[in-house]
Chain A
């Protein structure tokens, strides 16, 4: 389990990184925290000619709150975000979600943007990003572009990122005042990728559900925003009946779920609905 040979570059600016990537195209790969990529290299399942380590680019490790968004740079470690002062107040959903990602010893290295770029459908951060309505800032040879999380994920381990593009920051809008939130998931062991999970945010206004947002993960090729469930919830009276109905709509919305040694397709579909219902209940209680 030793990596194949590759060249290594440690650019000191985004422009330089992009230029390197552009030059090598598919033969180059970005290295961020390495928590996914290095395991693949050790198994020789990835064989880039060039690794572009973006950890030496100054400024990419910044976290700030601006324009009502939590702005997370490309090299922000998952753990650094977890310890970002005030995160429990400014973005409790993200904090709760981060705690489900692997273990502290992995989060100390793994980056938020690396997880987003890696786009594992069972990962928490992509689902959180879709649920929170995050925007991604992407820089490539043709300059900067911005894309919503919802549009970013295409399929298993595939995003709209071109080989020469870098995800430079993720912007997570802060939750609206009075929003309730919840992340629920089933894993085989604590810290494992989810067999199925759900992220829900909502407000309660005049004893009715308002602005619901429901995302399931671990079930399809990308985080699944469940608009049918959201529509059913909007304006509904909070309570078990509503959660159950909307949960069933989540299960219905799941298409072609993964079937593997840990869970069957039918199970994933059903459990996604259950997780969504449980998340709705908890989110409502927090709202």
Chain B
């Protein structure tokens, strides 16, 4: 398929590239900086009601009775629904491995604190919340499964009795001769790690406005949907509607990072709308709801990682054992996070024997959701930190042990042990560039003398792969049905010669519309401002998936180029008639259709398009009068997973190398980041400013992950971090200034050579900071093996006997 798409800039029909690769001003910005962008909470529809949700105060309880009569009678209340309505009218969530999804409202029992129990629709949110206070629910508490270890206990209470166990998934993958590698190793290095729950927390929480029209049974859902068609398909399955009767209208998002869930919220609003004779119902998740039970909790992991090494530092084997606490159900794709590390299991290293021993369990915490990186960030951390431990034991510098294990630059495309193929890269060049830029030798000397004075100063080096451009086959091993990930764009030219691109995803901040405009501007030799980008709902747009898995930049580049090329061919056929030559004699160049042999004979594309639409008198009768074309891009060359989960899944492998300098305050347990350097390589940079923005945003989230952010639960699975005073997002004070540099190793597999880079630094920053903290602690013989390295944890480590 990619054959029909220009693979390099040289193939574009312009004599000079003016927009691609430049830091073009974003089309979406003027509307955003003036506060005019239509975020979902701005939407008001006639007759709209507001939903508020009563949630379970217990982690695990049987619902004995619900008395909502007083709420139903309250003035201004139009509908009240409970779990029995959900069980009667809907199916459990389909976005979970078979049998592990719940209803949108708890039915018979609740499985986590904050699980929706009753929902109300009233004329405004204030009243809706008042109505909740009139509802009486009687619960009978059940024994609580508070964490993953407890879930495995022989006498553990069961989240889903019908399964007879809390284990959602247990599998062991073996790739290559792992036992042999460990038997023959000169050194085996091993450690246990704990990554605590954290999550996306976009500044805008999830919101939706849903109406279920009783006249034609059409369900229209407006909301901040990350992948509208996918979400729509799931609604059709859950609500029992034909897929073409569910229309999803996605609004621009105030950030997403994977954590824009809202499956339950949409279904609840649908049921409320139905109960209120089709009036539209809005639910705007508030921050307390988000923190309590939103789609904002990810990765609750216990790891054991083992490396087999030769004396010279060559790693010959890798074993990863993972126990992940998925929470009360698996409804929100949490399981995918355990599968994605297969796409870059051995990081930047050529380790051909590897093993992944995976256990996902259900507990009475909130169900896990996706978050930026979708699983690899913790995996990268434990791998990188264990590499450092090995280096320490072998007396090697952290840079040196990495260098000795890199996949060599001439080995690409390279298939890693877990089956994915890396497209291209030059890891050693990135490392060298970084060490050079940061003056690594000087930094090491500074660290050594500071440590000699007793200061806890440390350097952390981490390099990672960011798998980009996902395909659903990557998630086959955790039993989630594929819906595919196509991305389509229609490019149309109107009678006045203006270009419009129509597509099926809304903005969430990465400047994707600008990118489409850049590509089309360079194809047709206009400016990005001349191109209009028009969003279309799930029933109108060409097949689409939207953002996710660091794919959209690459996918829409492919789709825009493909559509432009198809459109060019259409225009050429018409131009040939008008210019009186054969269709193959015409080419597009700098915006003109011209006769190849006689370039002076030419017509501007606008003129040709105008003629197509307006001058049927000039054209043959059988000509197609539409100057528009649609192209649906899918990743080329993907393969189905084999019995060991091996597949060509993610199309691209971007790499990054970070270096951090930190100081730990021995007395307080706090960490200061004193310096940050990075080099990354994500192939061709289509809009360097956007790429840099993704990197910086990823670093901020990585700092949060390493030092600040954590959802804490007590021993009865009651959440303790329920506001922004306790769940701590990094502020301008905590995020370091970064010195950075980019290398460009184009991908041979993507249009124009770009790689997925949307998740970026989140893959690397937590690892780099943890490596630095451990370097700082190493003179004391201590190691920090739990994320976040909060002052509470570090202080305990430093003053173990004092507690």
Contact = CB atoms under 8 A, between A and B. Distances in A.
A261 B720 contact: yes
A160 B607 CA distance: 83
B102 to A, nearest CB: 25
A266 to B, nearest CB: 5
A191 B728 contact: no
Interface of B: 125-126, 129-130, 133, 286-288, 667-670, 708, 710, 712, 720-721, 723, 725-726, 728, 730-731, 733-734, 790-792, 795-796, 799, 802-803
A189 B731 contact: yes
A2 B125 contact: yes
Contacts of B795: 263-264, 267, 270-271
A195 B791 contact: yes
Interface of A: 1-5, 43-44, 186, 188-193, 195, 260-264, 266-267, 270-271, 274
B129 A2 contact: yes
Given A191-B733, A263-B791, 14 more contacts: A1-B287, A1-B288, A2-B126, A4-B130, A43-B288, A188-B728, A188-B790, A189-B728, A189-B733, A190-B731, A192-B725, A261-B721, A262-B790, A267-B796
A189 B788 CA distance: 14
Contacts of A193: 725
Contacts of A43: 288, 723
Nearest to A185: B668
Contacts of A271: 667-668, 795
Nearest to B124: A2
B803 A186 contact: no
B622 to A, nearest CB: 63
Contacts of B730: 189
Contacts of B287: 1
24 contacts: A2-B126, A2-B129, A4-B129, A44-B129, A186-B670, A188-B708, A188-B790, A190-B731, A190-B733, A190-B734, A261-B712, A261-B720, A261-B721, A264-B792, A264-B795, A264-B796, A266-B799, A267-B791, A267-B796, A267-B803, A270-B667, A270-B799, A271-B668, A274-B667
A262 B130 CA distance: 33
Contacts of B792: 261-264, 267
Given A264-B792, A264-B795, A189 B734 contact: yes
A270 B795 CA distance: 10
Contact of B669 (A3, A190, A191, A267): A267
B731 A5 contact: no
A267 to B, nearest CB: 5
A193 B731 CA distance: 15
Contacts of B125: 2
B799 A189 contact: no
Contacts, number: 75
A178 B286 CA distance: 51
Among B287, B667, B720, B734, find the residue whose CB has the most chain A CB atoms closer than 10 A.
B667
Contacts of A192: 725, 728
Nearest to A260: B720
Among B720, B721, B734, B795, find the residue whose CB has the most chain A CB atoms closer than 10 A.
B795
Contacts of B288: 1, 43
A262 B378 CA distance: 22
Contacts of B286: 1
Contact of A261 (B126, B669, B670, B726): B726
A193 B791 CA distance: 14
Nearest to A5: B130
B734 A262 contact: no
Among B126, B286, B792, B803, find the residue whose CB has the most chain A CB atoms closer than 10 A.
B792
The 8 A-B pairs of least Cβ separation, nearest first, read A190-B733, A1-B286, A274-B667, A2-B126, A261-B712, A267-B795, A186-B668, A266-B803
B717 to A, nearest CB: 15
B517 to A, nearest CB: 36
A2 B50 CA distance: 12
A260 B723 CA distance: 14
A28 B791 CA distance: 40
A249 to B, nearest CB: 16
Nearest to A1: B286
A266 B797 CA distance: 12
A274 B802 contact: no
Nearest to A271: B668
A176 to B, nearest CB: 30
A267 B794 CA distance: 10
Nearest to B713: A261
B129 A270 contact: no
A260 B714 CA distance: 11
A274 B667 CA distance: 7
Contacts of A5: 126, 130
Nearest to B803: A266
Nearest to A275: B668
Contacts of B733: 189-191
A163 B549 CA distance: 56
A122 to B, nearest CB: 10
A264 B133 CA distance: 35
Nearest to A44: B129
A189 B667 CA distance: 17
Given A186-B668, A189-B708, A271-B668, A262 B802 contact: no
A157 B803 CA distance: 27
B720 A264 contact: no
B205 to A, nearest CB: 10
Given A2-B125, A2-B129, A274-B668, A186 B791 contact: yes
Contacts of A260: 720
A186 B708 CA distance: 14
Contacts of B668: 186, 271, 274
A28 to B, nearest CB: 20
A43 B286 CA distance: 10
A103 to B, nearest CB: 9
Contacts of B799: 266-267, 270
A87 B455 CA distance: 37
A55 B645 CA distance: 66
A192 B724 CA distance: 10
A3 B127 CA distance: 10
A138 to B, nearest CB: 29
Contacts of A188: 708, 728, 790-791
Nearest to B128: A2
Contacts of B670: 186
Nearest to A259: B792
A266 B129 contact: no
Contacts of B802: 266, 270
B126 to A, nearest CB: 4
A220 B730 CA distance: 27
A132 B553 CA distance: 59
Nearest to A4: B130
A124 to B, nearest CB: 15
A267 B730 CA distance: 23
Nearest to A263: B792
Contacts of B669: 267
A185 B449 CA distance: 28
Contact of A191 (B720, B731, B790): B731
